[in-house]
């Protein structure tokens, strides 16, 4: 079987916000990719997403080096980041939550594993089809799942951005679902913060994947597109292209 090689591009933009609370990790040595979108206002959101970007790769590498299975290592990494952020958030004033989303992808021994907490998303674009690999942990999405809201209502719901699961959340007990998949040559994996994904359609992703020559060029272009379409949020995108060696 032909070996798969990875090419990667990433881009993050502050947009109109006073600071950028999004962080991304692109680690081509370990084939680990992450987008974290911090919340909690001002420097607290940046601190939370920065902690996720620092702790998750470190714990993951330690666990993998100790022969922990990939999915268990990912859960341990998310759980360590969660504990540290919960601790750091204890100094927050009452009613202000400090936390961060995290969506991560690990390519390890011919498998790819994707995990998400919060509403940053992962999409796999394969053969002109788009598959969202993560579930939004927003209250609106939970109401859709229970049948109380239609997907269209959810797009305009005030609960669209209220998260019930994220890093820094004391009730993260059941953790993240992990989606494994077997990468194929031609696959494009996109990780993005909501400032990006709220402004892109499946059609954009299919067209872009078809035309893509360079993942860095495509990541830059998608961030620009989200801003042009009126994203008032921080905008972050990581593209992983799986190709035949
Ligand atoms: Ca955001």
Q: Identify the CATH number of the domain in which residue 172 sits.
A: 3.60.40.10
What's the 15 CA to ligand 1 centre distance in angstroms?
11
Distance 67 CA to ligand 1 centre (A): 35
Q: Enter the tokens of residue 228.
A: 């042009």
Residue 104 phi/psi, 5° resolution? Answer: -130, 150
Which domain range does residue 208 map to?
Answer: 4-244
CA 35, chain centre distance (Å): 4
Tell me the longest C-alpha to C-alpha distance in the chain: 56
pLDDT for the residue 200: 97
What is the 41 CA–ligand 1 centroid distance (Å)? 11
* Ligand 1: centre distance to CA 206 (Å): 23
State the distance from the centre of ligand 1 to the C-alpha of 243, rounded, in angstroms.
30
Handedness of CA 215, 237, 204, 4 (dihedral sign): positive
Q: Tokens for 224?
A: 């620009």
Residue 45, CA distances (Å) to 3, 8, 32, 130, 167 in order: 39, 26, 22, 30, 11
Measured in Å, residue 208 CA sits from the centre of ligand 1 at: 22
CA of 103 to the centre of ligand 1 (A): 13
* Per-residue confidence (pLDDT) for residue 94, from 0 to 100: 65
Ligand 1 center from residue 183 Cα (angstroms): 28
* Confidence band for 3, pLDDT divided at 50, 70 and 90: confident
Residue carrying the six token digits 């999405």: 141
Average pLDDT taken over every residue of the chain = 93
Residues with Cβ within 8 Å of 149's Cβ and at least 6 positions away in sequence, in order, are 140, 143, 157
Could you give the number of structural domains in the chain?
1
* pLDDT tens figures, 33-77: 999 999 976 678 999 999 999 999 999 999 999 999 999 999 999
The DSSP call for residue 138 is B
Can you tell me whether residue 42 is helix, strand or coil? Answer: helix
Q: How far is the CA of 120 from the centre of ligand 1 (A)?
A: 8
d(Cα 90, Cα 197) in Å, to the nearest integer?
31
Distance from Cα 119 to the centre of ligand 1, integer Å: 8
pLDDT digits (tens, 9 = 90+) for 88-100: 988 877 667 789 9
Q: pLDDT grade, residue 6 (50/70/90)?
A: very high
How many Å apart are CA 28 and CA 15, to the nearest integer? 27
Confidence at residue 157, expressed as pLDDT on a 0 to 100 scale: 87
42 Cα to the center of ligand 1, angstroms: 13
Coil, strand or helix at 221: helix
CA angle 172, 176, 179 (to 5 degrees): 175
Tokens of 21: 């609370």
């Amino acid at each position: 079987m032909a070996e798969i090689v990875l090419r990667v591009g990433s881009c993050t933009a502050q947009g109109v916000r006073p600071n950028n609370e999004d962080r991304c990790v692109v680690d081509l040595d370990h084939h680990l990719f992450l987008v974290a979108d911090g919340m909690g206002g001002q420097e607290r959101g940046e601190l939370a997403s920065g902690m996720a970007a620092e702790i998750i790769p470190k714990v993951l590498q330690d666990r993998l080096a100790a022969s922990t299975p990939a999915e268990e290592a990912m859960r341990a990494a998310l759980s360590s980041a969660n504990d540290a952020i919960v601790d750091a958030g204890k100094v927050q004033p009452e009613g202000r939550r400090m936390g961060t989303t995290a969506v991560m992808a690990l390519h390890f021994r011919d498998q790819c594993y994707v995990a998400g907490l919060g509403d940053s998303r992962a999409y796999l674009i394969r053969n002109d089809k788009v598959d969202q690999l993560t579930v939004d942990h927003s209250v609106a999405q939970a109401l859709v799942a229970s049948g109380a809201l239609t997907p269209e209502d959810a797009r305009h719901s005030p609960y669209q951005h209220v998260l019930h699961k994220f890093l820094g959340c004391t009730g993260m007990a059941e953790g993240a679902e992990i989606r494994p998949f077997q990468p194929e040559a031609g696959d494009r994996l996109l990780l993005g913060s909501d400032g990006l994904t709220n402004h892109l359609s499946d059609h954009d992703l299919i067209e872009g994947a078809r035309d893509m020559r360079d993942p860095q060029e495509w990541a830059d272009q998608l961030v620009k597109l989200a801003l042009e379409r009126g994203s008032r949020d921080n905008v972050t995108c990581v593209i992983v292209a799986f190709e035949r060696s």
